[in-house]
Amino acid sequence: MSALNHLKEQGKFRAIGVSNFSRAQLEEAAKYGRIDSLQPPYSLFWRYLEKDAMPYCIENKMTIIAYSPLAQGLLTGKFGPDHKFDPQDNRAKNKLFQGENFERAQIALEKLRPVAEHHRCTLDRCTLAQLAWLIAQPQSCAIAPCTSSRTSDCAELPLGQSQTPKQLLFNFLLKNFIKLMPLGVL
């Protein structure tokens, strides 16, 4: 940590970040210098951060740069209950895609699917609402996928005061999805 502090003081970089640290690890590292950011997995299906490191990050004005904000694609609804990943795919070993966790995720997605369909939307189109929820959390931002096929959707995040019909739908879906995914579901 002292080497990182020295390089930061020299202006070689502006911030020191860590990945996958718990609150206890952040507290220990802070004894030796300022940590500017934490990069944890964080999504509607992976919310342990809220009980552990997030309060520390808020208190210490540490940026949270979430990775896997769509739970490695699980939140898109494209992986059904019978989906099997290639053993080389890292999701094959990810606990979100196994056993009881995967079953609970499927149940939550099935509850949202009719809401989305009623508004002529699909779960994969609801990902923007999920990302909006994540970046609305304190101290949080996300490393978010935005493929060329959805670039126009990404540009339509509701940022202004006026609400288009699409933005109203977006907000409605977000509100309903959050109700289905309370803290600690997975």
Tell me which residue of 30, 43, 59 sits closest to 134, measured CA to CA. 43
The residue with greater pLDDT, 121 or 79, is: 79
pLDDT digits (tens, 9 = 90+) for 94-112: 999 999 999 999 998 998 8
Distance spanning both ends of the chain, measured CA to CA? 34
pLDDT digits (tens, 9 = 90+) for 119-137: 777 887 777 777 878 888 8
Is the pLDDT assigned to residue 158 strictly greater than 70? no
pLDDT at 44: 86
Maximum Cα interatomic distance, the chain, rounded to a whole number of Å: 57
Tell me which residue of 96, 90, 92, 53 sits closest to 71, measured CA to CA. 96
Is 2-180 CATH 3.30.300.30? Answer: no
Beta-strand (E) ranges in 13-120? 17-19, 37-39, 63-66
Is the pLDDT assigned to residue 157 strictly greater than 50? no
Beta-strand (E) ranges in the chain? 17-19, 37-39, 63-66, 140-142
CA–CA gap between residue 9 and residue 11 (Å, rounded): 5
Domain ranges of the chain: 2-180
